[in-house]
Amino acid sequence: MDHLIAWMNSPAFTLFNAPVSWIEVIGFLTGAACVYGVARQELWNWPVGILNNACFMILFLGAALYGEAVLQVIFAAIACYGWYNWIRGNARTAGKNDLPIRHASWTEAFVGFGATAAGTAAVAMVLTHGTDSAVPWPDAFVLTASLVATYGQAKKIFQHWYVWILIDVVSVPLYFSRGLTLTAVLYIGFLFLCIYGLIGWKRAYAAEAPAPFPAPVTAGA
């Protein structure tokens, strides 16, 4: 096991004069595949995502991004729920994922916004006073907002894409600042994949919407 961990943390190549470890490469590949799978509403995105969580937990611990390391464990637990939730949809239609895309209710939107704000403040305080984190606030925001976005993804709530886009915008400079160059590049890719997913889900939602009733024909028309 020690040899495996040493290999994962060993440099695979350099990018912009920064070393890139094998675990970062694996995280890059599994992360890109996972987001593409979500955009395509593919069931396999969940197990690939869990593998990605394991890779990033190791990576973030090494970069002193403790909030995001803990986040990967929570991600994996939520992914199990999302995987099960999507499987239930598949079982009803012999493999076709029929869990419908929907919009967030006003209550869900309010709770999601409140949870993100309160969670960011609480986690930032813990990271500030309980760890040596140099970036507690963006680390805390990414942790908290990602949980909200993952819940929305598991429920196939359309607006979760907007949350992921905001997370990507915050994550790119955060990872560059911690020397995780390839991961920062990955999150630039995530940003475009999220836009792709947003467009794809919007089209799918429009296709799933029931056709409007035809207007009644009045006498003499």
d(CA 39, CA 193): 7
d(CA 189, CA 209): 30
Alpha helix segments (H runs only) across 63-135: 66-92, 106-130
Using only the alpha carbons of the chain, give its radius of gyration.
Answer: 20
Q: Residue 89: its pLDDT value, please? A: 65
Helix (H) or strand (E) holding 19: strand 18-21
Q: Per-residue pLDDT averaged across 71-83, rounded? A: 86
Per-residue pLDDT tens digits for 179-211: 888 888 888 988 998 998 899 999 988 887 665
d(CA 169, CA 183): 13
Helix (H) or strand (E) holding 32: helix 22-39
d(CA 165, CA 195): 7
Minimum mean pLDDT among 19-33, 44-58, 117-131: which range?
19-33
Residue 97, Cβ density class (10 Å: 0-12 exposed, 13-18 middle, ≥19 buried): middle
pTM of the predicted model, to two decimals? Answer: 0.73
Mean pLDDT (the chain, rounded): 83
Spatial neighbors of 185 by CB under 8 A, at least 6 apart, are 15, 28
Q: Tell whether the model's pLDDT for residue 156 goes beyond 60.
A: yes
Helix (H) or strand (E) holding 196: helix 181-208
**Strand-pair partners of 19:** 14
Q: Residue 4: its pLDDT value, please? A: 61
Q: Residue 95: its pLDDT value, please? A: 47
Q: Residue 221: its pLDDT value, please? A: 46
Q: Residue 218: its pLDDT value, please? A: 56
Q: Residue 99: its pLDDT value, please? A: 75
Among 193, 196, 173, 154, which Cα is nearest to 28's?
193
